Amino acid sequence: MSDTRFAPSPTGYLHRGHAYSALFAAEAARTSGGRFILRIEDIDRSRCRPEYTDAIFEDLAWLGLQWEQPVRRQSEHMADYQAALAKLEGLGVLYKCVCTRADIKREIAAAGAAPHLAGDGGEPLYPGTCRKRPVSEVAKLVANGAAYALRLDLAAAVAIAGPLAWHDRTEGTQIARPELLGDAVLARKDVPTSYHLAVTVDDHLQGIGLVTRGQDLFGATHLHCLLQKLLGLPTPAYHHHKLLTDPDGQRLAKRAGSASLRDLRNAGMAARALRDDLGFS
Tell me phi and psi for residue 248, to 5 degrees.
Answer: -95, 20
151 binds ligand GLU (CB under 6 A): no
CB of residue 217 to ligand GLU, shortest distance in Å: 5
Stretch in the footprint of ligand GLU (CB under 6 A) among 4-12, 84-92, 96-104, 123-131:
4-12
* CA trace torsion 138, 140, 146, 150 (10° rounding): 30
Is 126 or 195 the residue whose CB approaches ligand GLU more closely? Answer: 195
Contact 97, 130 (CB under 8 A): yes
Residue from 188, 183, 196 nearest 129 by CA: 183
Q: Which of 213, 222, 229, 239 binds ligand GLU (CB under 6 A)?
A: 213
CA dihedral 123, 128, 130, 134 (to 10 degrees): 180
**Rounded to the nearest whole angstrom, what is the least distance from the CB of residue 223 to ligand GLU in the complex?**
11
* 69-to-35, 72, 73, 151 alpha-carbon distances in Å: 11, 8, 11, 33
Phi and psi angles of residue 202, each rounded to the nearest 5 degrees, phi first: -70, -40
* Residue 225 within binding range of ligand GLU, rule CB under 6 A: no
Taking the complex as a whole, the smallest distance from the CB of residue 41 to ligand GLU amounts, in Å, to 4
Taking CB under 6 A as the rule, does residue 193 contact ligand GLU? no
199 binds ligand GLU (CB under 6 A): yes
217 binds ligand GLU (CB under 6 A): yes
What per-residue string of b and e applies to 194-231 under the rule 16 or more CB within 10 Å gives b? bbbbbbbbbbbeeebbbbbbbeebbbbbbbbbbbbbbb
Angle formed by the axes of helices 195-205 and 78-91, nearest 10°: 110
- CB-nearer residue toward ligand GLU: 57 or 141: 57
Residue partners of 267: CB distance under 8 A and separation at least 6: none
Q: Interface with ligand GLU includes 8 (CB under 6 A)?
A: yes
d(CA 143, CA 132): 19
Interface region with ligand GLU, contact rule CB under 6 A, candidates 2-10, 52-60, 141-149, 233-241? 2-10
Q: Give the nearest distance from C-beta 11 to ligand GLU in angstroms.
A: 8
CB closer to ligand GLU out of 7 and 274:
7
For the bound state, the minimum distance from the C-beta of residue 17 to ligand GLU, rounded and expressed in Å, comes to: 10
Q: Which of residues 30-49 bind ligand GLU (CB under 6 A)?
A: 41
Q: Which residues bind ligand GLU (CB under 6 A)?
A: 7-9, 41, 199, 213, 217
